[in-house]
Structure 1
Amino acid sequence: MIEKIIKYFNDKNIFVGLFAAALVIITSIPYILGLVLPFPESRFNGILVFPTDHNFYFALMRQAQQGQWLFHNPFTPEAHRAIFFNLEWLVLGKFSALTGMPLELVWHLQRTIAIVAFCFVIYWALTQVYKTQLMCKIVFTVIMLGGGLAWVRIIKPFGSLLPWHLCKDTYAFIHPFYIMLASSHTLLGLLFSWVSLCLFIEAEKNKKLKYYIAAGICALLVGCIRPYDMIFIMGSIMLYMWILMLMQRETGSWQNIKKRMLPVLIPIPVIIYYMWVFHGNPVFHAWHEQAVTAPFSLITMGFSIGLPMLLLALSIHTIGNFSQKSLPQILITSSLLACCILIYSNPEIKFSFQLVSLLLIPIVIVATMAQEDFLVTQYRQKQIVRVLMAIFIMVNSLSMVWIYRTKIQEIMQGLYRTDRNLLVAYEWLEKHSASRDVVLPSSVYPIGNQIPRYTHCSVFCGYHYVTVAFREKKAMLEEFFQKDTSDTYRTDVLKKYSVHYVFVDTNDIKPAMFAPADRVYLKEVYHNPRAIIYSVLPQ
């Protein structure tokens, strides 16, 4: 009986299931704390990082929740037509409307489901690369719990030797654990990217057309959520095909080549569409122009990835040995090379740094797959090797332990919350305004960035990525509220951008700020300890 129980719990599905359940519980604790801790004057936002980005996500989900199928950009005042922008936010908004669940709860339901699915998909991919379940479990653990070298900063003798700018794993979505903890959106793109690659591996095994089509459809869906991740899939498959042809291996007939091209060809309409969105749309093109993030230097990337980079360096001589690799191993190697090429294609691909979330998994696999026989043999024969592997996994996880502890501390200190007086003011604005009424906030962050999340209004300036001409509007906003600015300038701004309301955060009131209550073109319509709202009167 005991042997049967042990055998049952040694089953790979039980291993992955228990691992996934543990990850769901661990990554959910900070959010549960945020909900239950007694901060009566504020409300938890349901996020742990990058509130400006997440407010954009929730603003668009809110539009879908309220019945829209196409999205307008509520972070800029220009009149424009709504367009399709993101499948994830559309589905989540509609699901919230259908079930009555709050958007934050729907967001975390997606995160929970994605964590479980992601664990099973990655483990399935590992079984195609490695010959033993032991190696699959070791690599799986390294991938799921790993972090960079930021933990060195907290060791007093060595911390001063490692500058913070080399430790991007403290905030960049490089490691899966941090992604599962903090970014449901990034996790979804990562999940479907690997589903697409796994379907392609399955297609290569049995040469069935349906799997090639499924891989292409999955890549297309990825493109509707995170277009850059779709480019990664297409680049990985194209590089894989090029390597096979170069090696004169497994090229097969023209029919096989056409099948392999399906996952590359199917998503092309999505690429064309988003090229129009980011280059031709009069409003959404601001994302392409302003969302420019240069990739890290190679040294910074190495420190941020951590110990897996050392393993890769030790295995670098095996990367080009394609004649000794299986087809799945060649595909994973191709995905690593494609990811590196795309990340460092900046500025040709302006937001290429987004692809860094896809880099870690291929690095770990490529760094270890050629050493499987040696590592498994040593693990089974020598106790010291098992101890060293356990130490490696623990040390590799230290940064994530430190980041997790930091997030818990931030939650307990009351971070990631919104003043309830602001929420009441947003609720009033929602009830007393029309959809897409333009609001001029006293500050971009947090007010201008929060209004579209909590109301159906648009703002004059609200998000540095998607507000058209953000820098110019931010400067105009600052000038608008300066005491010595002429009323002619203010009324011209209000008229030009069809502003309906001026929203003043009382925390922004300073001696150098003008007094809106004294202006004949503004009328106070709402007031609480944190917010004052003025209606713009016709001139």
Structure 2
Amino acid sequence: MAERRPRLGQVSASEWRFVVVLGLLALAITSIPYVVGAALSTPERAFGGFVYAVDDGYSYLAKMRQGAEGSWLFHIVFTPEPHPGTLLFPFHLVLGKLAALLASSDLTAMMVCVYQAARLVFGFGLVLTLYRFLAAFTERVLVRRVGWLMTVFGGGLGWLLLVLGGREWLGSLPLDFILPEGYTFLVLYGFPHIALARSLLLWGLLFLLDAWQLFPRRYDEDEESPSRPQRAAAIAGILWLAMGLIVSFYVAVAWAVAGAMWLAKTIRERRVLWRSVGMTALAGLLSAPIVVYSAIVFSSDDVYATWFAQNLISSPHPLHYLAAFGVPLILAMPAVGDVWRDRERPTWALVAWVAAIPVLVYLPVNVQRRLVEGAQVALSLLAALGVCRLQAKGWKHRTVVNAVLSLVFITYALMVVGNSLQLLGQPAPVYRNQAELVALDWLGERVESDDVVLASYETGNYLPARVGARSFIGLGPEPVDFAGKEELVERCFDATADDSWRRDLLERYGVDFVFRGPFERQLGEYDPRQAPFLRLIYESAGYEVYEVEAIEP
């Protein structure tokens, strides 16, 4: 029976059933560790709600709490320095407001539930978007399905590096374990904001290519409307503007990808395509305000500028990218020539996207490796075309291709199983002591939003998720001078430090409370009771809270 080929962009009911069933399966698989984590909670040890990128997860809860407590502007809660509120992170602020509406008593628990619900909802939206995006570039259902499966479930050869003892090979962890921009499975696993942002990126690209009239069938019913390309370009710009409100630099990724596609189109047609330039400029102008705003925020305020400078996410050695994407790249090679010569389909645009990645990920910017955002989608479709081409040559080729293809599905099977097994030991920071939560909840009832609490990093990174106050130190790039503050915290809990130095430290940074528990005791044996400027206001089950009091010099 011949393979059924719908039109470009057309998706049949049977295809949608395929996507819905397997998409729900993917979300169920990514939820297994969370279910295991919650089930293993005990009265003494509480599950914090995250199993992957746990410190980042707690920072998202801290942002949600700001929204839950009434704020529409974001403040950095992991540094004591004063700074203005900004329009950053509206996604998490809105989730926090939703949690506040739904919470009856335990706001933190409701925030975790809302976050996980958002992960499932926006993750499901992403898996649908991915298939619709792939369908715009090929009529072949088998190619669509293979490309979608590789995008949703596929990883790299990171599992092999771990097996061979290369956990820190060439100075970096394998990318398929740490780079959600590179792998959809990681997005589904823990990042609802990236799921929504990627959906907006892909829909924006579809509308822009539509504005370039690369999908002529869309205009069959409205060929006399000269404004339709402009409307499509405008929609692309609006979608990217919304995307930029979630992750601002993704707008620059969209511009770069659009530029690479335009350059490829120009090379193919051997002339400057001014109409496409105009459509792209329209989309770019409409999405530019959030880029301009972000640039102003990160350049005009010292606190935000320091955060930006410290947020270094550099690309590793190029061999890491080969380990991460080498398998689909090899599988794509047999199809690249035919795709580039194809005059009926816009699949060549995906070649341009993939070709731009080696340039993007080594640009002299601080978020290098995150600029790979979305490229897995393009590469997976090209790989799927190569797979189907090779499989058509006979069973021997089919066996080899299937064996190679299977390599990309191992990483995340191992990750889900491994994360689930690790939970058996109730490790920190995934689990928190119940006594700690009681102490933090007690403190949360007595603080103001601009109060500063000094504690160890382990406590400080979680504290703003549960307490509506600022932490002296927390998530890596956000505190001003993270390394310096880490040293100050260690010295503060060191019994050999002088009390006069300690008092000056607390006054200089406007610290209002000092929190002391097991993590802080690991830093030193200092007993805050002896300080005349620290008043014990809470003590229970090994946790203490001290209020900083002004004293006469």
TM-score in terms of structure 1 length: 0.89
Amino acid at match of 1:374: R
| TM-fit CA distance, 1:366 | 3.3
CA distance in structure 1 between the aligned counterparts of 2:48 and 2:348, rounded to whole angstroms:
43
Match of 1:4 in 2: none
Q: How far, CA to CA, are the matches of 2:508 and 2:137 in structure 1?
A: 60
Aligned residues of 1:168 and 1:304 also touching (Cα < 8 A): yes
Q: Is the 8 A contact 1:427 1:454 kept in 2?
A: yes
Q: Which amino acid aligns with 2:358?
A: C
Aligned partner (choices 440, 460, 466) of residue 426 of structure 1: 440
Letter of the aligned partner of 1:170 in structure 2?
Answer: F
**Match status 1:294 vs 2:314:** yes
1:168 pairs with 2:175: yes
CA contact (8 A) 1:506 1:529 kept: no
1:141 is matched with: 149
Matching residue within 275, 295, 298 for 1:278 = 298
Alpha-carbon separation, structure 2, partners of 1:407 and 1:66: 33
- Between stretches 196-205 and 20-29, larger displacement belongs to 196-205
Matched-pair contact (CA < 8 Å) for 2:83–2:301? no
Counterpart of 1:95 (choices 79, 82, 98) is 98
Instruction: After superposition, give the CA deviation of every residue in 1:334-361 in whole Å (9 maximum; x if it has no partner).
Output: 322333322111xx21112222342322
Cα displacement string for residues 171-211 of structure 1 (whole angstroms, at most 9, x for unaligned residues): 33232123212333333332222122222233332453222
User: 8 Å contact 2:119–2:190 — kept in the other structure?
Assistant: no
The residue aligned with 1:267 is 287
Distance 2:295 2:488 in 1: 30
Does the CA-based 8 Å contact 2:453-2:514 persist in structure 1? yes
Deviation at 1:538, TM superposition (A): 1.4
CA distance, structure 1, for counterparts of residue 192 and residue 500 of structure 2: 46
Residue 71 (str. 1) matches residue 78 (str. 2): no
Deviations 1:481-530 (A, max 9, x none): 22222111111111111211111123432595322111111111111224
Determine the structure 2 residue equivalent to 1:417.
431
Q: 1:123 aligns with which of 116, 120, 131?
A: 131
The 3 A distance-change label for structure 1 pair 335 and 91 is farther
Partner of 1:109: 117
Hey, what's the Cα distance between the residues in 1 that align with 2:90 and 2:528? Answer: 41
Query: Does structure 2 retain, via aligned residues, the 8 Å contact 1:175–1:305?
Result: no
Contact 2:493/2:520, CA 8 A, preserved across alignment: no
Query: 1:294·1:353 contact (CA, 8 Å) conserved in 2?
Result: yes
With over 3 angstroms needed to count, the CA separation of the structure-2 counterparts of 1:251 and 1:108, relative to structure 1, is farther
The C-alpha deviation readout for 1:236-280, integer Å capped at 9, x for no partner, is 11222233234336866x555322322222111111111112222
Give CA-to-partner distance per residue, 1:348-406, whole Å, 9 cap, x none. Answer: 2111222234232222223454x47734744xxx4555555544443321111111111
Does residue 439 of structure 1 match 2:453? yes
Contact 2:155 2:409 in 1 (8 A): yes
Note if contact 2:148-2:381 (Cα within 8 Å) is conserved in structure 1: no
CA distance in 2: counterparts of 1:434 and 1:163, whole angstroms? 42
Match of 2:515 in 1: 503
The one-letter code matched in structure 1 to 2:381 is: I
Instruction: Give the conservation status (yes or no) of the 8 Å contact 1:166–1:299.
Output: no
CA distance in 2: counterparts of 1:367 and 1:450, whole angstroms: 42
Identity of aligned residues (%): 23
Instruction: Name the CA shift for 1:527/1:74 in 2 (closer, same or farther; >3 Å).
Output: same
Residue 342 of structure 1 pairs with residue 349 of structure 2 = no
Match of 1:482? 494
Q: Is the 8 A contact 1:232 1:338 kept in 2?
A: no
Please name the residue that 1:305 is paired with: 325
1:185 aligns to 2:193 (yes or no): yes
Contact 2:332 2:387 (8 Å CA) reproduced: no
Q: CA RMSD in A?
A: 2.6
CA–CA distance in structure 2, aligned partners of residues 150 and 85 of structure 1: 33
User: Cα distance 1:496–1:167, how it changes in 2: closer, same or farther (>3 A)?
Assistant: closer
Aligned partner letter, 2:536 = E
1:358 counterpart = 2:374: yes
Q: Secondary structure at the match of 2:302?
A: coil
Partners of 2:502 and 2:289 lie apart in 1 by 44
Which residue in 1 is equivalent to 2:260?
A: 239
Q: Which amino acid aligns with 2:378?
A: P
CA distance in 2, matches of 1:308, 1:190: 20
C-alpha distance in 2 between matches for 1:236 and 1:530: 54
Q: Which of these residues, 341, 347, 350, is aligned with residue 332 of structure 1?
A: 350
* TM-score, scaled relative to structure 2: 0.87
| Distance in 2 of aligned mates of 1:225 and 1:434 | 27
With 138-147 and 181-190 compared, the bigger mean Cα shift is at 181-190
The farther-off stretch of 178-187 and 260-269 is 178-187
Counterparts of 2:71 and 2:358 in 1: how far apart (Å)? 38
Q: Indicate the residue corresponding to 2:224 in structure 1.
A: none
C-alpha separation in 1, matches of 2:86 and 2:174:
38
Q: Which residue in 1 is equivalent to 2:222? A: none
Shift of 1:439: 0.9
TM alignment of 1:49-88, pairs within 5 A: 49-88=52-91
Q: Secondary structure at the match of 1:48?
A: coil
Q: Which runs of 5+ in 1 are unaligned?
A: 1-7
CA distance in 2, matches of 1:160, 1:485: 41
**2 CA distance for matches of 1:292 and 1:507?**
27
Match of 1:478, SS? Answer: helix
Counterpart CA distance in 2 for 1:465 and 1:80 is 16
Instruction: Report the CA distance between 1:95 and its aligned residue.
Output: 2.1
| Residues 1:257 and 2:277 aligned together | yes
Task: Note the C-alpha offset of 1:168.
Answer: 3.0
Contact in 1 for aligned 2:31/2:189 (Cα 8 Å)? yes
